[in-house]
Chain A
Amino acid sequence: MNALEVKNANKTISNGVNDQRKILNSVDLTIAPGEFVTVLGGNGAGKSTLFNSISGSLLLDSGTVSVMGKDLTKLSEEQRATSISRVFQDPKMGTAPRLTVAENLGLAEKRGQKRRLRQRQLNQKKEMYRELCKLVGNGLENHLDTPTGFLSGGQRQALSLLMATITKPDLLLLDEHTAALDPKTAKQLMLLTDQRIKEQNLTCLMVTHKMEDALHYGDRVIVMGKGEIIKDIHGEEKKQMTLADLFLLFEEGETVAEVM
């Protein structure tokens, strides 16, 4: 069974009165369980749209999306959350600012489950949460009772990642999740991300603009351009790639896109 199967995805949006733009053009994508795929592409290539149609914040015009064999095409974003978890680019988007770190983790832990009128068992879970937060390495474990609105962007983003991986999702979507952070924090977060993915053998789809990350992390690289997947490198070929190769690939992708 494939972790992710996108078949013939099409999405058009109107850009004003008479202007229609095809954002996704018959995109096919298959990802096996345990694969860590990075997605590159220029602005307007369709990366975010692809992500949004997988997560459910956007509905496709035509085509299907399935995760672990389950057809999600007609489901809403919250219904898909049972299988998919996501970390956004904006650190503020992933955590609830008035709720504490522990409360946020408590909410994330219930992903995919029915939330009932049972008292939340927060105090019992705090030890476990503390251990989890220690993984981050920036003192998050000392802020279990701090409302996340008071934390730094880096801490909130790390928390978002923990929240996204606290229950093992069938598919993890990372949407340029280090882009808004300073280089040092970004690097720490990327290491943590890799660690979590390896620990839990997660299937991950990551959009990034950082070539180094695309090179060093993951075992497959996809380049998108003008709503299509232009290049798909995996296995040995990917392992052998250098930064220069990657740049070239990217350029090629852009040119090809321009021609299309």
Chain B
Amino acid sequence: MDVSRRAFFKTGIAGAVGITVFGFDAQPLLAQAGSLEISRSTETRSTCPYCAVGCGIIIHTLGDKSGNVKPAIFHIEGDADHPTNRGALCSKGITLKQDVVNDRRITSVKYRAPGSEQWEDKSWDFAIDRIAHLLKQARDERFITTDTQGHTVNALTSVGIIGGCTDTNEINYLLVKAFRAGLGIVPMEQQARI
């Protein structure tokens, strides 16, 4: 009989089939499960961000999603229900928690002025405003409306965008929509080329 972990806890709560499933009395174990850390936690289904096998993962966060609790990741494991990885992860996947909860993460906007030897912390408003002005200036200076042969081009080639393979389809689409269809940027590339 195939008992998923979710079913295991469910039957535990129902207090029913311990002996028939396991051949021994699992009631004490099931009762103990009620006080484990996992009982106050939330499971979120996600996908490993590394290679393209696309292993299903479960992210365990502390807290039950109530408003006054700030969730914190305490464990990431393979999703046993996923048909590809069936709960397994590789040596990278099992260390995923460190990719998220890591004191090397950048948590503030960093700015480096031309010729400067250091980063400075800046606000988002500063960065968005400055980047938008630089982008508009680049577009206004070198936007190609027509070429020397009289073709309509309406393209910007002096600004490039690289990225996307680490991010979702929706982000890729937004990049294409905003930067290519909106601003006319032609140089758009990602890891697939390299």
Chains A and B come from one and the same complex:
no
Interface residues in chain B, defined as those with a beta carbon under 8 Å from any beta carbon in chain A: none
Interface residues in chain A, defined as those with a beta carbon under 8 Å from any beta carbon in chain B: none
